[in-house]
Structure 1
Amino acid sequence: MTARSLIRLAPPFAWLAVAVAAYVLIVKLNFPGHMSVDTVISLAEGRSGVRIVFGPPIFSAILAFFDRIAAGSAAYLAVVPLLLVGAWAAMSGLRAKVSWAGPLVLLALISAPQVIIYQAILWKDVLFADFAIAGFVALAWAAKRWDAVRVRLALLALAFLLLAMATLLRQNGALTVVMCAMVLAWTERRGGWRKALAWGAAGFVIPLALASVLNAATPVKDPPGVNRDVGLRLLQGYDLAAALAADPGRPLRVLEAANPKAAADLRAEAPKYYSPTRVDALLGSKTLGKALVSFKTKTIGRQWFQTISEDPLGYAGRRLEIFRWVFLTPDIDQCLPVHLGVGGPPDLMVKLGLKERQDLNDARLWNYTTWWLDTPGYSHLTYAVVAALVAGFLLVRRDPADVAMAGLMLSALAFAASFYAISLACDYRYLYFLDLAAITGLAYVALDPRLRPGARSGLSRRNA
């Protein structure tokens, strides 16, 4: 091997070394992982096979799978970050030539708490982001190897499976499937509009069908007679509380016709307890909670629709304020910027054999995180700008793999935007996918920052 060949291979090896270092740091710094109240409840669901709250049952099943290997979080921490690290390692092969900027930029990026700390928190939001990013990297490889039919189909099968898992972890994660369909339609556009449409349909239908099959096979189920619309009901109740906080005299014709006493309680209590930072503030009033649950789900839904139709601009403004909190986190301390240690409902902790943990290492990690708080490095706005710029760059360059990676950026932006309509709290983790996708996109561009690479594959020329 010539010296020139060794020099050419050095950046890809350095990139791989940094990716491996990221995994080692995540495990070493955080072992055996961090579990919050949500995690403990999900693990209890996984062990019992019965849902307690309205979180995704697939997450509970995944936690239970790793819990059977090693009780608690250690096995999960050892395996799950490999989704992200493996996707990053695979990205270097998407470029014909790898720049030294790639490993250097990745080395800087892994220092963010969103990487070396968040990857060790057992949250569905983190797992969703990992599955989605791995899915789009597989999609990028399929686009790169499009002319190799068997390889392409194998890579697409992997991408569809990963995106199906992502969809099961976050309902609005289905936006990744929409973008997957658009990427495939674009990739096959030179074959004619019929082929493009067919591939786009496949990229939409197959992941959703896989998600449906996987959901049916998930061993964690609802107990008999439980209302599955509790998430939608909670969202609609939150919006009604916001409307009453803005105007306590607002008409509640549907609710008043169904239960005048409960409607009066709702009108009296909502202005006292409503907060755009999180729906949990409403739980401060037992009267308010009883009033909301006294109505049937359909009744709440009809009143919600009537309130919006009578005052669409007011609804838009209230939703914008809620979104401002989750997107801009104006007071990060109110928005749960990170979770360190282990904690959960005492009865479930005892039942699961878990112990509360807030040790010296957790304190050190928290101290490190505070260096980032209130800086651009801990701001969804920063990562939204980065994702938009990366998408723009890749859509101008338009290599086949670039289009898939641009799809990742756009799906993350769309995912974040969807919280305008569905946000219930400003917790930083809810838009974690945006941050991690932007970090991934920036690292991908750094691998080969040339806008017009000199050497392109035949497929690149065909699709240019």
Structure 2
Amino acid sequence: MAPAILWFLALAGGYALILGLNYPGHMSVDTIISLAEGRSGVRRVFGPPLFSSFLGFFDRIVTGSGAYVVAAALVLVGAWAGLPSLRRRVAWIAPLVLAAAFAAPQVAIYQGIVWKDVLFANFAIAGFVALAHACRRWDAARPRLALLALAFLLMAVATLLRQNGALIVVLCAAVLAWTARGEGWRRALAWAAAGFVVPLVLAAGINAVTPVKDPPGKNRNVGLRLLQGYDIAGALADDPDRPLRALEADNLAAAASLRVEAPKYYSPERIDALLGSKTLGKALVSYETPTIGRQWVQTLTEDPLGYLERRWDVYRWVFLTPDIDRCLPVHVGVAGPPQLMDELGIAPRADRDDNRLWNYVTWWLDTPGLSHPVFAAVAALVAAFLLVRREAADVAMAGLMLSALGFAASFFVISLACDYRYLYFLDLTAITGLVYVALDPRLRSRNA
């Protein structure tokens, strides 16, 4: 049997495995809230409204998350189905590597978890695979434009699923500039601009028609406010006597409360530790968002090295996961706020099958198979290999690797917790890179 046939059989079998293990999907607190938003059409927290809209759409097809899981996993499987046609041949090792990829918890189990991080990774990868096809058929105008339109649409959706997901369009622009370099620098620059601007314009258009909307008067800057408040609390944990000019000018009593409470409750592991204080949150909420922003800028400019040290301490938790058990390595079953679950008519679930899946994940804990640094190294090596080979689609796939590395690095600035899923895009991208290279692992092909 030809390796290409075995490869597609492994792909179909892997998709069936995902659904067989996880259907109708695993839902956590975030998922339950997003589903409630999808049903009501009203945003309750500061998560992406498009994700809630997707959940609401599929919930109307099949109540719950079952239809969503089928469709979300199909995005990744569809992207992987497009990989063999990027190469001139399929090596015999490729089906084995693909089968091994489906055995990893990042694929076998995570693809059944209803999280925006998973859907973002799937759409981003699919977008770069479509971009790779466009680069491979660059000289054929109509197919190239159709494939670019698909790539831009997929990337636009991805950017609406993660606040820092827009970083992928930077690498999209770089890939197009490199691919069009033979047409002159003006054409290359124009293609780069298109690769950067068009996905963002599409994203703005999609966001404008997304069914889930903010209620009137809701503050859209909640995420930024939380991040700035977390950094200020960290600065006070380092030095409770540091200046708080902006905060003290606005509310002296609240600033004094922050000085007392922040050192007690701040933790670089996650922002949730601050919830242990009954007065800390009230003190932060007492300030308007611009005041918090001014104080954050003052704290940063007065002690930039201290800011970098604290940020590294936070980033160390999310990237290195020094105690992975404390960083929510996976979620199986169904759990959420009881009142909201009653409202949705969803029962908690933690059955025998869920326990078996959790037990399987425990085999991978504290191993390279669940290690962001390992997958970062894999993504970097795959990118280096592809940039050396530099065939038609290789630069686009290298762009995917580099975009995942840049996405992971961005959490140095924005991380609030060490949950493993936040860097899921990095892991899944590295796995995709290994699958792609395994299809044709030659550094130079005879027809090159």
Which TM bucket (shorter chain)?
over 0.9
Q: CA deviation at 1:337?
A: 0.4
Give per-residue Cα distances to partners, 1:256-299, cap 9 Å, x unaligned: 11100000001100011101011111011110000000001000
- Give, as a single letter, the amino acid of the residue that structure 2 aligns with 1:167: T
Counterpart in the other structure of 2:78? 86
CA distance in 2, matches of 1:381, 1:78: 30
Residue in 1 aligned with 2:221?
A: 229
- 1:324-363 alignment runs, 5 A limit: 324-363=316-355
Q: TM-score, normalised by structure 1?
A: 0.96
**Identical-residue share of aligned pairs (%):** 72
Structure-1 separation of matches of 2:400 and 2:14: 21
Q: Which residue in the other structure is 1:258 paired with? A: 250
Q: How many residues align?
A: 448
1:199 aligns with 2:191: yes
Q: Gapped runs of 5+ residues in structure 2?
A: none
Shift of the alpha carbon at 1:80? 1.2
Residues in 1 aligned to 2:116 and 2:71: alpha-carbon distance in whole angstroms:
15
Q: Distance in 1 between matches of 2:89 and 2:329?
A: 38
For residues 34 and 109 of structure 1, the distance between their equivalents in structure 2, rounded to whole angstroms, comes to 20
In 1, the alpha carbon distance for the partners of 2:15 and 2:90 equals 21
Counterpart for residue 99 of structure 1: 91
Q: Aligned match of 2:368 in 361, 376, 397? A: 376
Distance in structure 1 (CA, Å) of the matches to 2:326 and 2:239 = 25
Give the Cα separation in 2 of the matches to 1:208 and 1:19: 32
The counterpart of 2:277, out of the listed 280, 285, 301, is 285
Q: Is contact 1:142-1:155 (8 Å) kept?
A: yes
**2:142 aligned partner, one-letter code:** R
CA-to-aligned-CA distance 1:83-126 (integer Å, 9 cap, x gap): 10111111011000111111111111211100000000000000
2 CA distance for matches of 1:329 and 1:33? 25
Provide the rounded CA distance (Å) in 1 between the counterparts of 2:241 and 2:132: 54
User: Contact (CA 8 Å) 1:255, 1:303: kept in 2 or not?
Assistant: yes
* Structure 1 alignment gaps of length 5 or more: 1-6, 457-464
RMSD value over aligned CA atoms? 0.7
CA contact (8 A) 1:320 1:420 kept: yes
Report the Cα distance in structure 2 between the residues aligned to 1:341 and 1:368, rounded to whole angstroms.
14
Stretches (4+) displaced over 4 A: none
- The residue that corresponds to 1:245 in the other structure is 237
Matched, 1:407 2:399: yes
Instruction: Tell me the residue number matched to 1:151.
Output: 143
Contact 1:335 1:426 survives alignment (8 Å): yes
Compute the displacement of 1:12 (Å).
1.2
2:103 to 111, 122, 133: 111
TM-aligned CA deviation for residue 139 of structure 1: 0.3
Note if 1:212 corresponds to 2:204: yes
Q: 2:377 aligns with which of 372, 377, 385?
A: 385
Could you tell me how far 1:37 is from its partner in structure 2? Answer: 0.3
Cα distance in 2, alignment partners of residues 285 and 241 from structure 1: 12
Residue 425 of structure 2 corresponds to 433
1:179 to 159, 171, 185: 171
1:358 is matched by which residue type in structure 2?
A
1:171, CA displacement in angstroms? 1.8
Q: Aligned partner of 1:341: which letter? A: G
Q: Work out whether residues 15 and 89 of structure 1, in 8 Å CA contact, stay in contact via their aligned partners in 2.
A: no
Equivalent residue, structure 2, for 1:133: 125
Query: Could you give the per-residue CA deviations for residues 18-40 of structure 1, whole angstroms, max 9, x where no partner exists?
Result: 11111100000111110000000
Write the distance in 2 (CA, Å) between the matches of 1:13 and 1:196.
Answer: 38
Partner of 2:181: 189
Equivalent in the alignment of 1:366: 358
SS across alignment from 1:58: helix
1:309 to 294, 301, 310: 301
CA contact (8 A) 1:254 1:299 kept: yes
CA distance in 1, matches of 2:124, 2:314: 25
Following superposition, the deviation at residue 159 of structure 1 comes to: 0.3
The one-letter amino acid paired with 2:155 is L
1:205-262 CA-partner distances (Å, limit 9, x unpaired): 1000000000000011111111111100000000000000111111111101110000
Structure-2 residue corresponding to 1:69:
61
Helix, strand or coil: the match of 2:149? helix
State the secondary structure of the residue aligned to 1:62.
helix
Structure 1: how far apart are the matches of 2:348 and 2:322? 30
Alignment partner of 1:34 is 2:17:
no
Instruction: Indicate yes or no: 2:434 matched with 1:442.
Output: yes
Shift of 1:418: 0.1
Find the counterpart in structure 2 of residue 454 from structure 1: 446
Q: How far off its partner does 1:132 sit? A: 0.2
